[in-house]
């Protein structure tokens, strides 16, 4: 499964440079863990990067990657403090966006998240988002990030700012 997802992301990156000039997007996001992730983490910060080519006037595809660091919680028990370690992931994904208007888009990244820390394992990565472009270079988005791993699921709801080059 890892090899298949990696090859799909690699092909998306290759196709994006073969067929047309595209746009490079870099973003930062702040997210709140929910579900199981909320038990061990208080918040996360992430960096996203994608290269998208225009397939049609309304549709873009490409590859995406990034880095997410979730900060661990400290819980006080009756006689001691329990400290959870931070959790880090690097996603490798295929990205797609549908531009509903000049300013509004809906998109998703699908791929594989590589777990850097020991707390969580590698897993299937999905990252749907809704965004709004304030200018040709600056936009904002609301997103959900999910990672399905053998040891459980990691989920966050986030807000991000995106810069287009």
**Is residue 6 scored above 70 in pLDDT?**
no
Which residues lie closer than 8 Å to 18 by C-beta, 6 or more apart? Answer: none
Which range, of 1-10, 59-68, 119-128, averages the lowest pLDDT?
Answer: 1-10
Residue 45: partners with Cβ closer than 8 Å, 6 or more residues away? 28, 29, 30, 31, 68, 69, 71
Q: Is the pLDDT of residue 12 over 80?
A: no
Give the pair of three-digit tokens for residue 26: 């870099």
Position 16 pLDDT exceeds 50: no
Closest CA to 29 of 129, 134, 153, 147: 129
Domains in the chain (CATH in brackets) are 2-164 (2.40.160.20)
Q: Which helix (H) or strand (E) segment is 112 a member of? A: strand 104-115
Two structure tokens written together for 27 = 């973003």
Report the percentage of the chain scoring pLDDT > 90. 65
**81-135 residue pLDDT tens:** 667 788 899 999 999 999 999 999 999 999 999 989 876 668 999 999 999 999 9
Place of tokens 């992301």: 9
Q: Which helix (H) or strand (E) segment is 1 a member of? A: none
Nearest CA to 48 among 31, 71, 68, 32?
68
Residue 148, φ and ψ in degrees, nearest 5: -95, 115
């Amino acid at each position: 499964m890892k090899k298949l997802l990696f090859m799909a992301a690699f092909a998306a990156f290759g196709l994006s440079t073969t067929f047309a000039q595209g746009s490079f997007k870099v973003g930062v996001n702040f997210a709140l863990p929910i579900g199981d992730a909320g038990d061990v983490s208080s918040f996360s910060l992430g960096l996203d990067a994608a290269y998208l080519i225009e397939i049609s006037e309304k549709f873009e595809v490409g590859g995406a990657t990034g880095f997410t660091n979730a900060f661990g919680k400290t819980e006080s028990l009756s006689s001691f403090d329990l400290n959870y370690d931070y959790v880090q992931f690097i996603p490798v994904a295929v990205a797609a966006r549908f531009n509903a208007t000049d300013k509004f888009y809906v998109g998703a990244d699908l791929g594989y998240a590589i777990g850097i820390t020991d707390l969580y394992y590698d897993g299937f990565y999905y990252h749907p988002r809704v965004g709004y472009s304030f200018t040709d270079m600056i936009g904002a988005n609301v997103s959900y990030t999910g990672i399905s791993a053998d040891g459980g699921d990691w989920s966050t709801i986030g807000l991000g700012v995106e810069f287009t080059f």
